[in-house]
Structures are given as structure tokens and as C-alpha cells.
Amino acid sequence: MNICGVTLGFNFSGFQLIYVCVACFMWICSLLFSLEYMKHYENKKRYYIFMIATWFATVGVLASTNFLTTFIFFEIMSFTSYLLVIHEETPGPMRAGETYLAVAVIGGMVMLMGLFLLYDALGTLSFDGLDAVAKFALESGQTTEGRLFAAGLCILFGFGAKAGMVPLHIWLPKAHPIAPAPASALLSGILTKAGIFGAIVISVNLFFENVTWGVMMATIGIVTMFLGALLGVFSVNLKRTLACSSVSQIGFITLGIGMICLLGPENALASRGTFLHMLNHSMIKLLLFSAAGVVYMNLHHLELNDIRGYGRKKPLLLVLFAIGAASISGVPGTSGYISKTLLHESIVEFIEHAEHIGLEKLAGLFHVYEIVFLITGGMTLCYMLKLFICLFIGKNANPALQAKYDEKTKYMSVLSSACLIAPAALLTVMGITAYRTMNLMAEIARFFLHGYAAEHEVHYFVWTCIKGSCISVTVGLVLYFLVVDKLLIKKKKNGDLVCAEYVDAWPKKLDLEELVYRPLIKLLLSPGIFKYIDALPDKTAEFFSQVAFKQWNKESKRFSFKSWYHESSGGKALKSFHEAYLSARDSMSFGLLLAAGGLAIFLIYMLINWVA
């Protein structure tokens, strides 16, 4: 199919083949785990239909060879995954769905604007040879660096919104705790990587060795990783903590993308670390969110005070959770240690490079980034240790509840156990055989990331590499015992028993969505002509609604619409429909869906004209 000179295209090799396989593995595990998890849910058919639709859309994104293909499947993925977020259809999920849909739609529209700019500047949207075309266009004066930056920033906005980069991260901590656990595993583990996929493509093809872009990406990464970890330390909800952790780990990956651009031909460590941390994070979040799903489907609670002590006599769940927690914390001997070590060493390498060429201020900035990197690694260990101690070591404040938790019962099926064991086994094998498995996959994937081959074999377990991990582990232990244990856990005596209660100390006023985004949108849409433009669809719909439901009762009419409306079953149905319409009309989701429907009709019209 040829649209505007661009053909929909797919590639199944190298990095893209590996990640399509990762996506398929994660969906199979999640679907199998859903058989037990969704047993008592309503609308299961809808859930499975949109799970599979999101699967195909995600594969379309990850296998795409041009931005048009990416955009089409990216938008399909956004709308199909929305139905997973709001599956329960209670006020909480609907509110989270509004946030998710708003970020997805706004991000998609900004991305589309960026694609128009890019196509106008370069005349192509294909990944293959995009860097050469951009270089030629700049040298020949056909475009300017400013135009490419404008296009790149718009495209990054759309992909960054899905990836969860700060300040577009607001949907992750809200959508993940609300969605069913198998869907949360996919939202965190693979849908965020669809956003990272686009960020990699635009960065390495348009801005490779561009210092400004590289520093910008590294800065976004540093801010994202630190803020996500900080939110995770303060969180008192199991799945919300894991969601905040996803924001933080996306920051590590974004930092890696920046280092790839900055290091240029010397980016072997950065490209390896970026890809391997993507891979590790996908497997880890599949494991940890599935473990959280086991807790929820047995207790129907996620607050730490409610689930405290649940896993004390569940050794299989303990081992599986420990593997994921240790790996994401970068503990030596795990697969997460390998990827985080590579990312850390790439920062050290760039500092030496910047000092060598006389960029002392830039080297000083990245010295600060290195410190933040190590502290954030410690914060990761801190919040994962908090979850582990809560579930598997601490006792519940209610002795009767703790006795119930300690009873030997079947808390997950054999099939569900296998769905957790599979990613845990992969993480363990990758950690043990890093020199063979992880190095091999990184070598296969490096061409897509414009990565260069390492000049010599990387020795992961020498003191130079282990030192960074030891610093992070020490920081994490200090933070847990001095901050979490002393300030965020309230201890009180209940007879002879010492009870501990987790305190939600994060200020509610610091909710970025409620503090900034919603008021800003209301402000932009309220004044002047925008007020009337915004009101026009509602007023038009209200007019037709009033006409349709107007109660006519004239003497000249034999048929009394009023009587029929109030007394007949048909009238009751119409009244119910009218009330439902009025209730839905004021929601953000309803407005966005109408906008999306209009956009879809417009795109279909353009598509028919282009094909014709």
C-alpha cells in the first residue's frame, strides 16, 4: 500500500526480531496468566479481544520500517490498550483512562505534526538511509538544523508520552494500579518500549553525534529516573510502586540513548547497555506485575498495610519476587547488574572523552549525572527492599489476618506458576551466562542502535565495574533503614505486639496532572473563540437530543408521545439512554473519543483518495 509516497513496511531481523519475540513471549505469558486472574471478572471476551488487538498493533510498531507504519500501529495500540486500562469501568479506572487517553491522543497528534515537518524537510519517512538523507539535505541547504530539531522534538513528544518520560509520565502511576495485572505487565514491560523504539529511531538517525540532542536526552533520562525512583520510595501501593519503578527504568534507558548520540563511534558500551536494559526491564516487569497479580487475585488489595506479611510462608513466590527485585536493583550476579554497569561505564567514558577534548563544563555536568545515577540505583534497591520486607518478612498488624495469610492454601495454579517461572528463569540464565547470551543479543541488536563493536571484551566482574553497584547497594540500604524504616513506617504497640504501618507521606498537592495539566487545558479552552469552539459539539448534540426527546402532546395528535415516553418500556429505554448520554457527554474520554472518530473518518477519506 502506497500512501503519500510512503509504503507500509516491516522488518523482522536484528533488534526488531528480538523485540518482536520478546513481545510475543510476554503476551503468551500474560494471556495464560489471565486464564486464572480474569476468572471472576466480567467482560472477559472484550478483554481478550483487545489484548490480542494490542498485541498485533505492538508487533506492527516494533517491526515497522518507516514512521508512517509506526504511527498507524502506534495509534491503534493506544486505543486498544485504553480498553484494558478501563476494563473494570468503575470511577477509578475511568478517571485513569481519561488521563491515559488524553496523553495518548495529544502525544499522537503532536507526533503526526512532527512527521509532516520531517517529510516536508527530507521527503522521506523511511528509517533506512534517513541519516544519509538528513546529512545531504543539511549540506545542500535544502533544510536547516532548526527544522529538523522542530520535527524531532514533536516526534519525541509523541513517543516520550507513551514511554513515560518526565513530564509526560503522569499516566503510568495511575493506569498501572487500575488495570488488570496481566495488562499492567504489558503496559509497563512492552508498550513503554514502543515509545522507546521511536525515541531510538529519531535519535540515532537524525541526531547521531549531535551534542545538544545527546545532552537533552541524557538530561530527560536523569530527571525521569530520579523522579520515578523518588515516587517509588514514597508509594504505599504495590502496583503503583512498580509503576513508578517503570518510570525510573525508562529514565535509565533514555539516558542510554543520549549516551549513544554523545559517544558516536565510541558508543559500544552505551548501545549494549541501552538495549540490554530494555530487555531486562521487559522481563522483570512481566515477572513483578504477575507476582503482584497473584497477591491481588487472592486478597483483592494492593495497599502495603493490607498485604503486609502475605508471602511469609510462600517460598516459590518469595524466590520469584526476589529474582525480579534483585535484577532491577542491579545486584551483582543478576542480568540487571550487567545492563546498569554498561550504562554507568558509558557515563564514565564520556566524562573522560569530554575532559580530553577540553569540554570541562560538560564533563562537570556528567559528573553530577553519574552521582545521580548511583543514588537512583540505591533508591531502586530501597523501594524494592520495602516491598520485599512488606510481603515476605514483616507481619500484618492484624494477628488474625496474619494467621489466615500463613495458612497453607493453593494461591496460584500450576499454569500461573509457569507464567512467573518462565521470565524468572530467563533472567537467571542471562545473569549467569552474560558473556554468551547477553553479549550475543547485544551484538545482533547494535546495528539498529547505530552501535559500534567493542574494541575489547567487557569484563563485568572486575572491581572497577562492581564498585558502582556496591555504592548503589550501600545507598539503598542506608535510605531504607534511615528514611523508610524511621520516617515512612509508623510503629506502635498493640499489647505485646509491635505493629508497623506504612505512611503515605507524599503531598497530594504535588500531583502534576491536577496541579498543572488539567488547569492548563481548561485555561486554554476557556477564553475567547476556543470557548465557543469547545462548546459547539456539545450544543449541537444537545439540540438534536432535545428535538429527539421533546414531549409533544397536542390535541390534534392522536398519539401522545408524552404518555408513551413515560409509560412504555420503549420510553423507559429512551429515557435511560438519554440519561446515560448526558452523563457521558461531560467526560474527557467521551470528547476525546469523538475527536478520534472524526480523525479516523478524515484519515479514511484521505486514504481512499490516495489509493484511488
Give the Cα separation of 169 and 184 in Å (integer): 15
Average pLDDT taken over every residue of the chain: 83
Sign, CA torsion 429/431/435/438: positive
Q: What percent of the chain is modeled with pLDDT above 70?
A: 83
Instruction: Provide the pairing of β-strand 497-502 with 2-3.
Output: unpaired
Give the Cα separation of 250 and 300 in Å (integer): 28
Q: What is the pLDDT of residue 511?
A: 77
- Bond into 167 cis (ω within 30): yes
Q: What is the pLDDT of residue 246?
A: 92
Q: Which of 100-114, 251-265, 400-414, 560-574 has the highest mean pLDDT?
A: 251-265
502 three-class SS: strand
Give the Cα separation of 50 and 34 in Å (integer): 13
Amino acid identity of residue 567, one-letter, is E
The confidence band for 567, taking pLDDT boundaries of 50, 70 and 90, is very low
**Mean pLDDT value across residues 498-509:** 80
pLDDT at 558 over 70: no
The confidence band for 541, taking pLDDT boundaries of 50, 70 and 90, is low
pLDDT at 553 over 50: no
Q: What is the pLDDT of residue 2?
A: 55
Q: What is the pLDDT of residue 597?
A: 58
**Mean pLDDT value across residues 34-40:** 89
H or E element, residue 133: helix 130-140
CA distances from 527 to 103, 105, 106, 358, 520 (A): 23, 22, 20, 51, 12
Bridge-partner residues for 126, per DSSP?
66
Sign, CA torsion 456/457/463/464: positive
Q: What is the pLDDT of residue 176?
A: 79
CA angle 301, 483, 291 (to 5 degrees): 30
Alpha helices in 436-482 (DSSP H): 439-445, 463-479
Alpha helices in 357-479 (DSSP H): 360-392, 399-406, 414-432, 439-445, 463-479
Give the Cα separation of 267 and 260 in Å (integer): 5
Q: What is the pLDDT of residue 464?
A: 82
Q: Which of 112-126, 219-233, 391-405, 449-463 has the highest mean pLDDT?
A: 219-233
**Mean pLDDT value across residues 121-139:** 89
Q: What is the pLDDT of residue 555?
A: 41
Task: Count CB-CB contacts under 10 A for residue 188.
Answer: 30
Q: Tell the residue number behind the cell numbers 515512612, with chain if given.
A: 488
The confidence band for 573, taking pLDDT boundaries of 50, 70 and 90, is very low
Alpha helices in 128-210 (DSSP H): 130-140, 145-163, 172-178, 181-186, 192-206
**Mean pLDDT value across residues 420-448:** 92
DSSP class of residue 454 equals: P
Q: Which of 172-186, 277-291, 552-566 has the lowest mean pLDDT?
A: 552-566
491 three-class SS: strand
Bridge-partner residues for 493, per DSSP?
498
pLDDT at 568 over 50: no
Q: What is the pLDDT of residue 42?
A: 83
Q: Which of 292-301, 453-462, 486-495, 546-555 has the highest mean pLDDT?
A: 292-301
**Mean pLDDT value across residues 354-381:** 91
Using CA atoms in the order 235, 240, 244, 247, what is the torsion angle rounded to 10 degrees?
A: -170
**What does the block give as the cell for 304?**
502495603
Give me the residue spans of the domains in the chain: 1-206, 225-511, 526-611
| Contacting residues for 390 by C-beta, under 8 A, at least 6 apart | 304, 307, 308, 309, 502
pLDDT at 150 over 50: yes
Contact 449, 204 (CB under 8 A): yes
492 three-class SS: strand
Tell me: the pLDDT tens digits for 576-600? 445 544 554 445 455 555 555 555 5
**What does the block give as the cell for 497?**
505486639
